[in-house]
Amino acid sequence: MKKLIVISIILVSALSLAPSLTAQSEMPAPEGLRSKRKSMERPRIVILPGERPSDSLMAVLQNELTDQLTANLSDLGRHELADRRDLERILAEQSLQLTGIISDSASAELGRIMSAKEALILHLVSFSQKGVPPEDEDEGEDLSFGEQLILALVEAAVTSDETPAEEYAGNIQTVMSVTVRYLDLESGRTLDSFTLNALHTGGAAGKSRTAAMQMLRSQMFQRLNEMFLLNIRFAGRNGETLLFTPGLSLGIRPGMLFSLQSAPETLNLNGEELQLPGRPLGYIRSTLVSDKLFEAEALRRFGDWGQDIQGVEIVSHPFASRWSLDLAESSAGASVGLVINGLYPVSTLMSVGYRNFEDSRGERTHGLMLQILPVGKLGGALPMNLEAGLNLELHLLGRGDDGGHTVTAAAFGIGPQLGLRLMLDRNSDLILTAGYRLFGHSSWEYTVTGKDDDDSISYPAVWDAPAPEVLGQGLYFSLSVQNFSF
């Protein structure tokens, strides 16, 4: 019992520190400067052909990736795309040449002709393929993906195109690197850029190349979305429904997440006006979307929502973790887990932990636990609300029998629980829960392993008295801290 008390004190201390440990990863206030989108209009943008590679295959691959870039930008819906056929005609008529860096005069002229102020240029920087030994034949040290990619890029830079790959023709390694630049056509200045890298090993040359291209495509949309984040503005209320602008016209779709803040504040310091970012207010999710407006569902609210609200798009869904300590009349345990869709009204906790049970002999039984807990919030986005869930547990129990063997049993627990959720700060919640657990376990067994590790036999546990029953059923209480990282 003293050990349980010590463990409980340690766990409670750890839980009290959890919010401060995650404070370093809090999402910064969503300043408008994080977004390239300054207005609610769709600016016209042109996709310019990158400098043509000397290698014919690289030229074909670059064209395919440029087509993918155009398709992704169209799906994103943030821009009006200039017609590529018009671009090709104008480039030919004006004898404009792209050498990788557009001159100020050429870019301004192109922008004027195309009625565009912005442009994207994609360039396939490197591409190489070579045969490599399969993993079981590779005697080198294990390398991370990043280390493999750097090594492959270096080798591609110093290896001749004529290097034969026939030795391992069925295990080709493909390495590709692509840059995308975002240009201001009026000045020719690069506003932003990103690099995509892909490394794939396996299959013949064509199969390996296709897989690497797919890796680049899967990265491209995410990076474009991050480059062109949307700002939103509060437009009013329809009853209890929040309305924001823009809508479909700028690519708003149902299910998008946004971080809200108050309007920036102006501070006069010694006659100089300084603009301070607004205060964080919460998070919303778009639901019904029209051409110019969208309805939003409040997911998390930690400030006064007046009329002057604005926000910025969240591309990556938040990561949520939960630390828990539970106590019952005959058991105590601790667990840590991940919360899937933790910001939403319905989420799922998946956790692992340890639990110590009392049995029918008054002795202690130890158990490792896997928990799945679907949860629904009953109070919306308020700082204090209720949540209800169905707790599902699997346990691997262990103890010693009367014959001196280490014996194990499998156990299953299920039951409802009801919790009170209190918001500690914008990224942390304290959850107090009460629940009831139905509990049962299998017969105790021990395993004898033969000379061959694969040769093992299970035997029933040896008991001088009736086999002990683990007392896992009954009412329990838990204390949890849930943290969000954006």
Q: 433-478, pLDDT tens digit by residue?
A: 999 999 999 999 999 886 666 678 889 999 998 999 999 999 999 9
Start-to-end C-alpha separation, the chain = 40
pLDDT digits (tens, 9 = 90+) for 1-35: 444 444 444 444 444 444 433 333 333 333 333 44
What average pLDDT does range 355-369 have in this prediction? Answer: 94
pLDDT of residue 307: 76
What's the pLDDT at 116? 83
pLDDT classification of 378: cutoffs 50, 70, 90: confident
Mean pLDDT for 311-332 is: 93
Phi/psi of residue 204, each to 5°?
A: -70, 175
pLDDT score recorded for residue 28: 39
Q: Report how far residue 98's alpha carbon sits from residue 107's, in angstroms, rounded to the nearest whole number.
A: 10
Per-residue pLDDT at 480 exceeds 50 = yes
Segment among 63-77, 257-271, 312-326, 403-417 with least mean pLDDT: 257-271
The band of 383, judged by pLDDT with boundaries at 50, 70 and 90, is confident
pLDDT at 416: 97
pLDDT on residue 411: 96
Instruction: Report residue 82's pLDDT band, with 50, 70 and 90 as the boundaries.
Output: confident
Q: Which single residue is written with the structure tokens 């692509």?
A: 178
pLDDT at residue 86, rounded to an integer: 66
Residues 98/62, Cβ–Cβ less than 8 Å: no
- What span, in angstroms and rounded, lies between the C-alpha atoms of 60 and 72? 19
Residue 153 has pLDDT above 80, yes or no: no
Reading the block at residue 418, the tokens are 């009801």
Task: State the pLDDT confidence band at 140, using cuts at 50, 70 and 90.
Answer: very low
In the prediction, which pLDDT does 109 show? 67
Q: Which among 373, 387, 384 has a CA at the least distance from the CA of 300?
A: 384
pLDDT value for 181: 92
Give the pLDDT confidence score for residue 346 in this predicted structure. Answer: 93
pLDDT score recorded for residue 275? 77
Domain architecture of the chain: domains with CATH: 41-134+145-224 (3.40.50.10610), 231-314 (2.40.10), 319-485 (2.40.160.20)
pLDDT tier for residue 105 given thresholds of 50, 70 and 90: low
Is 238's pLDDT higher than 70? yes
pLDDT score of 287 more than 70 = yes
pLDDT of residue 354: 97
Beta-carbon contacts of residue 54 (< 8 Å; ≥ 6 apart): none
> Among the ranges 32-41, 132-141, 169-178, which has the highest mean pLDDT value?
169-178
- Ramachandran category for residue 251: left, alpha or beta (phi over 0 → left; psi -120 to 50 → alpha): left
The rounded mean pLDDT for the chain is: 82
Q: Going by C-beta distance under 8 Å and a sequence separation of 6 or more, which residues neighbour residue 321? A: 22, 336, 337, 338, 339, 482, 483, 485
